[in-house]
Amino acid sequence: MSFLAPTLVNFVERLVTSTPTPCTPATTTTIATSSKQSIITGVPKEDTLKAEVLWCLNMMESHYSFNSSEGTGALFSAMFPDSAIAKTFACGATKSIPVQADEAHFDPYTDRVDTFLHDRMSTQKPYEKLWRLCRQLLLLSHGQASVERGFSINRQIEDDNLSEDSYVAQRCILDHLRAVGGTKNVTIDKPLLMSVGGARQRYITHLEDMRRKRDDKEKNTKRKYVLDEIEELKMKKKRLKDDTDALETSADKLAFEAEKTGKLTLIAKSNSLRKGAKEKKAESGKIAR
């Protein structure tokens, strides 16, 4: 058990060795004042159920996710093989959600987060500024809903290798399951069975379509690269031609002025400009080839 923190080990030992507390009229009064005590003492006397409730309360205090309880029964059974409670302990997300929802008076399947926060923050003066911030955040559209209706479902189905289409498909399935009230209420009819039977072939066809689109995209990318390079060369050739024409025009003007004035320096400048024009023409000729 060295992989568990000492505090968690002590808590688990208290779980599997706990004894039931009888529910008396006094404890019934306590239910109204202490929700945690009410859940522990208000349940039937089975030791396993009490241990499961204790575990749920510990999850709630530690801010664990619902799915973090999966596999705890097998873990406790291996840690405490002689404990009858550990052998029958089973407290996954299905059990954790109702207990935590009862503690917080919030059902993640039916209640709204904005209503939940409004009831607990808008009327409390210390939380006025925080509530204004929460209200602005809840009004942001982020792919879950126009206003967030519950805790994130996307996070529960998230996987590293899922594409956007897979997320959309899983969300549609989860929304349908929530609408009909669970998997037991889903109608397994003939069209559904036929669709499932052809799912593999549709998946293969989808992969082939994706591969074809990817190949076409690569070809278009290469073609676009070549066209962009050709266009760049055309622009460069045009710039060289404009520079050549400008140099030749300036050289002609200097030669004409030198002829009128007889200044040899103007002839030297004119020849220098003509030399530059020839170099530009040669560079333009290389681009044309």
Residues 6+ apart with CB under 8 A from 54: 14, 15, 18, 40
Read off the pLDDT of residues 117-160 as tens digits, 9 standing for 90 and up.
Answer: 777 778 778 778 888 887 777 776 555 444 444 445 555 555 55
More confident position, 30 or 52: 52
Local confidence band at 92 (pLDDT 50, 70, 90 cut-offs): low
Percentage above 90 pLDDT, the chain = 4
**CB-based burial label for 153 (10 Å; 0-12, 13-18, 19+):** middle
Do residues 150 and 111 lie in contact, with contact meaning Cβ atoms separated by under 8 Å?
A: yes
Identify the top-confidence range among 17-21, 61-65, 152-156, 254-258: 254-258
More confident position, 287 or 274: 274
- pLDDT for 36: 39
- pLDDT for 107: 58
- pLDDT for 253: 87
Q: Average the pLDDT over each of 2-16, 114-128, 189-203, 221-235 and give the range with the smallest value.
A: 2-16
Q: Average the pLDDT over each of 36-40, 177-181, 226-230 and give the range with the smallest value.
A: 36-40
Q: Average the pLDDT over each of 104-108, 137-141, 284-288 and give the range with the smallest value.
A: 104-108
- Domain extent listing, the chain: 1-105, 110-151, 152-186, 200-288
Do residues 150 and 114 lie in contact, with contact meaning Cβ atoms separated by under 8 Å?
A: no
Local confidence band at 93 (pLDDT 50, 70, 90 cut-offs): low
Residues 6+ apart with CB under 8 A from 154: 143, 144, 167, 171
**Distance of alpha carbon 137 from alpha carbon 135, whole angstroms:** 5
Q: Average the pLDDT over each of 35-44, 123-132, 229-238 and give the range with the smallest value.
A: 35-44
Question: Across all residues in the chain, what is the average pLDDT?
Answer: 70
- pLDDT for 208: 93
pLDDT value at 162 more than 50: yes
Do residues 247 and 276 lie in contact, with contact meaning Cβ atoms separated by under 8 Å?
A: yes
- pLDDT for 2: 38
- pLDDT for 4: 43
**HSE-CB of 248 using CA atoms within 13 angstroms:** 11
**43: DSSP letter:** S
pTM greater than the 0.75 cutoff: no
Read off the pLDDT of residues 12-34 as tens digits, 9 standing for 90 and up.
Answer: 555 545 444 444 433 333 333 33
More confident position, 145 or 259: 259
- pLDDT for 29: 36
Identify the top-confidence range among 113-117, 205-209, 285-289: 205-209
- pLDDT for 147: 46
pLDDT value at 7 more than 50: no
